[in-house]
Amino acid sequence: MYEWMAWLEGSALAQVLRGMGIWTYGLLNLAHILGIATLFGSVLILDLRLMGAWRSIGTAPLVRATVPLAVIGFVLAAISGVMMLSFNTTEYHGNPFLYTKFPLIGVALVNVLVVQRLGAWQRAKTGQAAASGDVAVLRVSGAVSLLTWLGVVTCGRLIGYW
Ligand code: HEM
């Protein structure tokens, strides 16, 4: 792990970023926060709907609004996150919150791939009538997603306090 961290810290990207001036890290942090807010805000609304909130609002239009925003937010958070990490990567060596955050991001992304393959999700997304058992499947999917992303946000916030 340390070798990989030292490589990122010494990379051309890191050297360019560190040479760009004192505002660079702060602006990357701003981009990270905007990405997180966009991702988590979208996920929060969609997952609460899947878990049974706001039943009068159709799932299909909500999916159309929230999923693209979540993807944009994730890409922004990931790009800005790697750039921030490259500034002083080796200082995070042994940080349990960083080491927990990345596997949790992996779990959250695997959950997205799994949910997309579920018949219950396909029906909800396209506005088809729900089959028996769909409500329970969607509730669990929403809960797993929300808890995992909440874990990612919590670990991210706590990285700096270790
Ligand atoms: C490849 C992806 C990512 C990388 C490499 C990354 C890296 C980082 C780094 C280096 C920090 C600064 C830690 C510090 O010194 O305080 C940070 C902060 C943070 N990250 Fe990420 N991150 C990534 C994705 C995400 C995602 C997807 C989320 C949430 C959904 C997230 C949530 C947070 C939060 C809440 C903070 C604290 C921000 C603050 O208080 O200023 N990160 N991240």
pLDDT recorded at residue 125: 96
Distance CA 137, CA 47 (A): 12
Contact assessment for residue 49 and residue 57, using Cβ atoms and an 8 Å cutoff: yes
Q: Is the CB of 160 under 6 A from ligand 1?
A: yes
Cα angle value 120/56/66 (rounded, 5°): 60
C-alpha of residue 134 to centroid of ligand 1, in Å? 34
Ligand 1 pocket member 146 (CB < 6 A): no
Nearest to 83 by CA among 18, 159, 33: 18
Residues of the chain with pLDDT under 70: none
CB of 156 closer than 6 angstroms to any ligand 1 atom: yes
CA 52 from centre of chain: 22
Q: Is the dihedral of CA 87, 157, 95, 35 positive or negative?
A: negative
Ligand 1 contacts CB of residue 81 (under 6 A): yes
pLDDT digits (tens, 9 = 90+) for 81-90: 999 999 999 9
Provide the pLDDT for residue 50: 98
